[in-house]
Amino acid sequence: MCASDNSGSESYAVNVADTAAPEAAADPALIADLVTANHILFDQGVVDAFGHVSVRHDKNPSRFLLARNMAPGHVTAQDIIEFTLDGEPVNAAGRKVYLERFIHGEIYRAYPEVQAVVHSHSHAIVPLSVLKTMPLRAIFHMAGFIGEGAPVFEIRDVAGPGTDLLIRDNRLGRALAECFKASDIVLMRGHGSTVIGRSLQQVVYRAVYAEINARYQLETAHLGDVTYLTAEEARTCAMNIEGQVQRPWDLWRRQAEQRRKQ
Ligand SMILES: [Zn+2]
């Protein structure tokens, strides 16, 4: 596929006509958690004006929920839109949607166990997405899910040398989704990362601690040799510690809510 096929003028915010009937309404508690996830990720510095989080629809696994095109810190329940796995909205009603929604749909299609997805451009992750000598790698127990080295998605291999690095169609979404066969987090060269989880609480935990882990790596790299977690340690840490994702979720939710009131 030539690069010009992916260098169109479509901007980050796009209008897409609704293509199907909406599913029965999602559980309001799930929508409330999705709103909370947006606020936490902004409050914790994982997303800024850009980046997004989605959750699989609880009534239909072939649908997912994602906010309309807006800054995550401002999302309310009324901003949540339902999408097909092709990334087509079903109840946008003219509201603009995220260009990179194909990341979410193709991951949900490929991995039935995945219930939530975060895509971000968080600040410490981006340097590691371009460093050829240092992969993102679990450096402490809270980030065991990262394992011995997160894969990096190279969009040039799929879309050629002149793209804007955005996942702007299903073909690119599928290529990115492939990388999750070996990891729950994938870095995107010169762009950011995408993280998957079995719940909103878990995926938010992972997105926050991936950013902290990346920061630690950058801070320690110039000081000397680093001892990373082994694959076995990483697996054991993830298994034992991720059972407690509700604790940071509750703390971060309260903190985000308090700051929103200020
Ligand atoms: Zn992006």
Residue 201 sits in a domain whose CATH number is 3.40.225.10
Distance 196 CA to ligand 1 centre (A): 15
Query: What is the whole-number distance in angstroms between the Cα of residue 255 and the centre of ligand 1?
Result: 26
pLDDT at 16: 83
Asked whether residue 4 is domain-assigned, the answer is: no
> Residue 194 C-alpha to ligand 1 middle, in angstroms?
9
- pLDDT number for residue 108: 98
Range of the domain at 48: 10-261
Q: Would you write out the chain's pLDDT as a tens digit for each of its 262 residues?
A: 222 233 344 566 788 888 777 778 899 999 999 999 999 999 999 999 999 999 999 999 999 999 999 999 999 999 999 999 999 999 999 999 999 999 999 999 999 999 999 999 999 999 999 999 999 999 999 999 999 999 999 999 999 999 999 999 999 999 999 999 999 999 999 999 999 999 999 999 999 999 999 999 999 999 999 999 999 999 999 999 999 999 999 999 999 999 988 8
CA triple 174-170-60, angle to 5 deg: 85
Measured in angstroms, how far is the CA atom of residue 165 from the centroid of ligand 1? 8
Distance between CA atoms of 101 and 47, rounded to whole angstroms? 15
**Is there a domain that residue 118 lies in?**
yes
**Contact predicate 22/80, CB 8 Å:** no
Is residue 2 a part of any domain in this protein? no
Within a domain: residue 174?
yes
Strands 63-67 and 192-197 come out as unpaired
Within a domain: 112: yes
The pLDDT value given to residue 9: 44
In a domain, 169, yes or no: yes
Active site residues: 100
Find out whether 100 and 168 touch, Cβ atoms under 8 Å. Answer: yes
Task: Report the pLDDT value the prediction gives residue 4, as an integer from 0 to 100.
Answer: 28
pTM score > 0.85 for this model? yes
| 5 part of a folded domain | no
Are 98 and 66 in contact by the 8 Å Cβ rule? The answer is yes
C-alpha 154 to ligand 1 mean position (Å): 13
- How far apart CA 62 and CA 83 sit, in angstroms, is 9
Is there a domain that residue 192 lies in?
yes
DSSP state letter for 186: E
Q: How many domains does the chain have?
A: 1
Rounded Cα gap, residues 107 and 55, in angstroms: 11
Whole-number Å distance, alpha carbon 145 to ligand 1 midpoint, is: 21
Between CA 57 and CA 85 the distance in angstroms is 11
